[in-house]
Amino acid sequence: MLAVEGLHAHYGRAHILHGVSLTVAAGEVLCLLGRNGAGKSTTMKAIMGLVPPSAGTVRLEGGRLEGGRLEGRDLAGQPPHAIARAGLGYVPEERRIFTGLTVLENLEVGRRPARPGLAPWTPERLFALFPSLGGMRHRPAGRMSGGEQQMLTIARTLMGNPRLLLLDEPSEGLAPVVVERMAEAILALKAEGLSILLSEQNLAFAGAVGDRACILETGTPRQTLPMPALMRDAALRARYLSV
Amino acid sequence: MEALAVQALAGLASASSLFLVASGLTVIFGVSRIVNFAHGSLYMLGAYLAWTFVSHGPLAELGGFWGFWGGVLLAALCVGALGAALEMTVLRRIYHAPELFQLLATFALVLIVQDVALLLWGADDKFGPRAPLLRGAVEILGLRFPRYELFLIAVGPVVLGLLWLLFHRTRFGILLRAATQDREMVSALGVDQRLLFTAVFFLGAALAGLGGALQLPREAVTLHMDMAIIVEAFVVVVIGGLGSLPGAFLAALLIGELHAFGILVFPRITLVLVFLVMAVVLVLRPHGLLGAPPGAPPASEQAPPLPRPLPRGLRLATLGALAALLLAAPFLGDYPLILLADFAVFILFAASLHLIMGPGGMASFGHAAYFGAGAYAAGLLLRHLAAPMEMGLLLAPFAAGLVGLLFGWFCVRLSGVYAAMLTLAFAQIAWSVAFQWVEVTGGDNGLLGIWPSDWARGKLAFFYLSAALCGLGVWLLRRAIHAPFGLALRAQRDSALRAEAIGIDAFRIRWLAFAYAAAFAGLAGALFAFGKGSVFPTYLAIPRSVDALLMVLLGGVQTVSGPILGAIAYAGLQEQLARVTELWRLLLGLVILALVLFFPRGLAGALAQWGEKRA
């Protein structure tokens, strides 16, 4: 579905990503794991074109993409809006909802045409997935709780009918009961056949939803393995993940 | 009583026109973050185009209702298209440039439009016809009131209502509001920002064009319309809160009424009243009446580079040129010596502004206030106390520094465009004092006979004096940048919060830097006064502030030697162009535009880059 190869990225003169390669299969949840500063968020942003990659390729395969222009072609170096239109949906870590806009207006900003072969997302379908949003359609997003904002930001991205979702730390800063509901929502999306690249610090959360794990350290992928294997391997976790 | 009511109605009518222009300005700023100095030029073009359409060509032959209103609408659409074209060709390339650089580019457009309008329409004023259906007057409370003014009163709220519908009931409007808050996120959601920005420039420019076109039956179309309206429109946008349409509407009402009644009460100082009101509003509400505090800067914004010395070779070359100049001075004629003394003054003036803008991270649109304060201090001392030049030069920096302490106490509390506008407001107030306190300052006639002491009266001696004092001033300013004080100043610029957390009193540092810079601007002003033998209110006026701003930006804000190069380049260009051609504004504008597009780090930045590459 998604194939990233040899991705490099810089912030100014600081070299952050040193050749990140990963693949996400159709319908799979790949977890990007690593300590703070390992390059998880930057990988997401580089794939999305928000931090222009200095080298490497990003390919989104399969199905017919909008207009077919970017099908199977390298997305690296394209502007973010073209990458979003090609079928990548980005959910930022900082949420970045439009606080002055209502819930419905936030969803409207994310709305893109339906993709052939995929049931298009509508506000009503999203309110079924995130019931708490349905009760506050006309509320300014600035007056919502952190958990509600996190759900809104995912719902907003889904309105673009993405083929693959980039989820950057969706559990960060949420109450345990909200984290549980978030995990349920992600599993529901996976059941719909959506592919997901998920970056996480919360290992329990990642273990509950992930199929495979890709471990990053200082901007380099160290190991990619099935999630259950990682959960069994305490030594590996201690080496790359524990603080 | 009736007269007051009619006066209030007249205020409402001018408020409507003001709102049309200000709404376009605020919409453009909201989405693109560009402070469009050229917005007044678009307004002026709207008026000129409407005049052309209404009095020449097919629409004029048609005459009657469509002959007039068709011309007005067509003018608005043409100006909108021009705005879109400007966005696509010029502004699109500078969205990631610092705020002030964008301002420089739009200022270049002002200069270009000035000369283009002069070429196309000539220097004489143009008078439009009366508006069909709206001729004559109606009786209100027994007094006659023009119908057209009543129509204008309605235009403001109608446009506000239409814009509200556009922003809340259409997808385009919702996208615009979202982009106002976080345009990068909007593009990550698949929206092509370029279309959005072009469209918003079309909308904003068309509103300005409409505002100008609607003036046709009211007043003559002149080449001064652009500057007159842009200052007021800025005031309205800033009082209302940048990016807020209802705020702009409220502020336009406030300013419109202030003008209408100010003329009755204080006919000579209405302009001061306007700026006083703005100063009060900004001190009480730093983000305007209805404005929100600006969000975090976009992630793409990078920290300014550290000030570094020029490459060794270049530095030696500069020092060599300076030494050669000082040695060659005795062999130069009077005219080059006068010019060189002026250059020295401008260099010090620009270097003092640079301390505020570069290391300080603040913008000042009113730096001429301190230049003028120094000049007036020296002039008044000589005129009223017969103090010699030496005394004037010694005391001028202190006088200007005191003015800087006073004004700075208000200005440095604000940030970005708000701070810039407040500095402009204070400069305008200072200008009005100089202009209107005739008994002391001589008003428009200025102070004459402000000549140097006998020993410095020769052009050569005065050049050496200027060079020595300006050299000393520039050296002291550079010392400040590299001293612990300068480090603290840069620290609070990069992150006021973190600087405060390690014990830096950001407010006090900014305040002191502001006053320190003001003192050196004052020294430059005093030297300039003695060089010219006179002091005029123009020393404090907006164009002089803009000169300093352009010098610093041309040279490069984040380089220590930038203001020096910028001052030489700008003053030299202006001087040379004005001698060679009538169209110096057009050429200067084009040169500035080229510099902005091709040397985004300023002249000194470009030189340093070139030096690095070679090294």
Two structure tokens written together for B327: 């040695």
Q: Give residue B306's pLDDT.
A: 65
Considering only residues B212 and B287, tell me which one the structure prediction assigns the higher pLDDT.
B212
Q: Picking from A103-112, A153-162, B198-207, B434-443, which range would have the lowest pLDDT averaged per residue? A: B434-443
Q: Where exactly are the structural domains of chain A?
A: 2-240
| Bridge pairing between strands A55-60 and A29-33 | unpaired
pLDDT in tens, B389-400: 999 999 999 999
Read off the pLDDT of residues A98-155 as tens digits, 9 standing for 90 and up: 998 999 999 999 999 998 888 899 999 999 999 999 999 999 999 999 999 999 999 9
Domain map of chain B by residue range?
Answer: 2-235, 312-614
**pLDDT for the residue B295:** 53
Longest dimension (CA), chain B: 81
Q: Is pLDDT above 70 for B37?
A: yes
CA distances to B279, B287, B290, B420 from B283, in Å: 6, 9, 14, 13
Domain at B312-614: CATH architecture: Orthogonal Bundle (1.10)
At residue B440's C-alpha, the angle toward residues B439 and B444, to 5°, is 75
Select the residue from B166, B189, B192, B244 to test the A interface by mutation, using most A Cβ atoms within 10 A. B189
- Residue B178 burial by CB count (10 A; 0-12/13-18/19+): exposed, middle or buried? buried
- Is A90 close to B177, i.e. CB distance below 8 A? no
Tell me the C-alpha distance between B397 and B522, whole Å.
Answer: 5
Q: Work out the pLDDT band at B232, boundaries 50, 70, 90.
A: confident
Across the interface, do A84 and B190 touch by the CB < 8 Å criterion? yes
**Cβ-based contacts of B174 with chain A (< 8 Å):** 101, 105, 108-109
Tell me the pLDDT band of A66, cut-offs 50, 70 and 90.
Answer: very low
Query: Which chain A residue is nearest to residue B179, measuring alpha carbons?
Result: A98
Please answer yes or no on whether B188 and A48 come within 8 Å at the CB atom. yes
Non-local (6+) Cβ contacts of A226 within 8 A are A211, A212, A213
Contact A150, A179 (CB under 8 A): no
pLDDT band at B299 (very low <50, low <70, confident <90, very high): very low
- With an 8 Å Cβ cutoff, are B186 and A109 in contact? yes
Within 8 A by CB and 6+ apart from A55, the residues are: A6, A7, A8, A19
Pairing of strands A195-200, A212-217: unpaired
Residue B258, both tokens: 């202030």
CATH fold for domain A2-240: Rossmann fold (3.40.50)
Task: Name the pLDDT band for B428 (thresholds 50, 70, 90).
Answer: confident
Of residues A19 and B137, more confidently modeled: A19
Of the candidates B187, B189, B303, the beta carbon closest to that of A157 is on B189
Q: Is B554 left (phi over 0), alpha (psi -120 to 50) or beta?
A: alpha
Average pLDDT score over residue span B445-449: 90
Nearest to A12 among B186, B292, B302 (CB): B302
- Nearest neighbour of A81 by CB, restricted to B190, B302, B303: B190
Angle between helices B245-265 and B2-32 (to 10 degrees): 140
Query: Where is mean pLDDT largest: A56-65, A84-93, B326-335, B578-587?
Result: A84-93
Q: Read off the pLDDT of residues B591-602 as tens digits, 9 standing for 90 and up.
A: 888 878 887 777
Strands A88-91 and A55-60 turn out to be unpaired
Poorest-confidence range of A227-236, B221-230, B266-275?
B266-275
- Residue B565 has a pLDDT of 85
When the pLDDT of each residue in chain B is averaged and rounded to a whole number, the result is 88
What is the least distance, in Å, from the CA of B416 to any CA of chain A?
22
Q: Measure the CA–CA gap between B518 and B374, rounded to whole angstroms.
A: 9
Distances (CA, A) of B463 to B330, B352, B561: 10, 20, 21
- pLDDT tens string B153-193: 999 999 999 999 999 999 999 999 999 888 899 999 999 98
Answer whether A49's CB lies under 8 Å from A70's CB: no
- DSSP calls for B504-534: --HHHHHHHHHHHHHHHHHHHHHHHHHHHTE
> Sorting pLDDT into bands at 50, 70 and 90, what band is B318?
confident
Chain segment B347-366, per-residue pLDDT in tens = 999 999 999 988 998 888 89
Say which residue, B371 or A70, is predicted with more confidence: B371
pLDDT confidence of residue B165: 96
Mean pLDDT of B13-34: 91
Query: Which of A16, A47, A75, A109 to mutate to probe the B interface, most B CBs <10 Å?
Result: A109
Give residue B448's identity as a one-letter amino acid code. Answer: L
pLDDT average, residue stretch A192-202: 93
Interface test with chain B among A47, A48, A69, A96, by most B beta carbons within 10 Å: A96
Instruction: Band the pLDDT of A65: cuts 50, 70, 90.
Output: very low
In the chain, the amino acid numbered B397 is P
Q: Which residue of A has its CA nearest to B304?
A: A12
Question: Where is B426: in which H helix or E strand?
Answer: helix B416-436
Mean per-residue pLDDT, A179-208: 93
Query: Minimum mean pLDDT among A194-198, A236-240, B485-489: which range?
Result: A236-240
B177 interface with A at CB cutoff 8 Å: yes
Residue B298, pLDDT score: 42
pLDDT (mean) for B381-396: 92
When comparing pLDDT for A223 and B136, which is higher? Answer: A223
| CB contact (8 A) between residue B178 and residue A79 | no
Residues sharing a CB contact under 8 Å with residue B563, sequence separation 6 or more, in sequence order: B347, B350, B351, B353, B354, B551, B552, B555
The confidence score (pLDDT) of residue B582 equals 80
Which ranges in B170-289 belong to alpha helices (H)? 171-181, 183-188, 193-213, 225-240, 245-265, 270-284
Does residue B612 surpass a pLDDT of 70? Answer: no
CB B396 within 8 A of CB B390: no
Q: Three-state SS across A48-93?
A: HCCCCCCEEEEEECCCCCHHHCCCCCECCCCCHHHHHHHCEEEECC
Residues 6+ apart with CB under 8 A from A241: A33, A34, A35, A203, A215
Secondary structure class of B74 (helix, strand, coil): helix
- Residues of B within 8 A of A101 (CB-CB) are 174, 177-178, 181
From A156-160, B84-88, B97-101, B322-326, the region with the lowest mean pLDDT:
B97-101
For residue B175, list chain A residues with Cβ-Cβ distance below 8 A.
109
pLDDT of residue B303: 58
Cβ B177–A12 below 8 Å, yes or no? no
Q: What tens digit of pLDDT does each residue of B42-76 get?
A: 999 999 999 999 988 888 788 788 889 999 999 99
* Inter-chain CB proximity B182 and A96 less than 8 Å: yes
Determine the average pLDDT of the residues in B101-114.
87
**How many whole angstroms separate alpha carbon B286 and alpha carbon B442?**
36
Region A45-50: what's the mean pLDDT? 94
pLDDT grade, residue B449 (50/70/90)? confident
- Is it the case that residue B25 has pLDDT exceeding 70? yes
- B191 in contact with A, Cβ within 8 Å: yes
The residue among B309 and B598 whose pLDDT is bigger is B598
Spell out which residues of chain B touch residue A152, defining contact as CB-CB under 8 Å. none
d(CA A184, CA A188): 6
Distance CA(B250)–CA(B476), nearest Å, equals: 46
> Is the pLDDT confidence value at B252 over 90?
yes
**Paired strand residues for A4:** A22, A58
Is B24:B208 a contact under the CB 8 Å cutoff?
yes
Question: How far is residue A164's CA from residue A26's CA, in Å, rounded to a whole number?
Answer: 8
Q: Where are the beta strands (DSSP E) in chain A?
A: 2-11, 14-24, 29-33, 55-60, 88-91, 164-168, 195-200, 212-217, 220-226
In chain B, residues with a C-beta closer than 8 Å to the C-beta of A112 are 189-190
**Which of B177, B182, B188 lies closest to A84 in CB terms?**
B188
**Signed CA dihedral, B358, B360, B366, B369: sign only:** negative
Tokens of B394: 């010694």
Q: Across the interface, which of A50, A101, A105 has its CB nearest the CB of B188?
A: A50
Q: How far apart are CA B14 and CA A164, in angstroms?
A: 54
Q: Summarize pLDDT for B500-558 with one digit per residue, the tens.
A: 899 999 999 999 999 999 999 999 999 999 999 999 999 998 888 888 988 888 887 77
Residue A99 with chain B: CB contacts under 8 Å:
181
Q: Closest to B190 (Cβ–Cβ): which among A92, A101, A160?
A: A160
Q: Is B599 left (phi over 0), alpha (psi -120 to 50) or beta?
A: beta
Alpha-carbon distance B360 to B412, whole Å?
10
| pLDDT per position as a tens digit, B544-589 | 888 898 888 888 777 778 888 888 888 888 888 877 778 888 988 8
Closest CA to B30 of B164, B201, B192: B201
Asked whether this complex has an ipTM greater than 0.90, the answer is: yes
d(Cα B176, Cα B30) in Å, to the nearest integer? 8
Closest alpha carbon within chain A to B303: A12
* Residue B559 DSSP one-character state: -
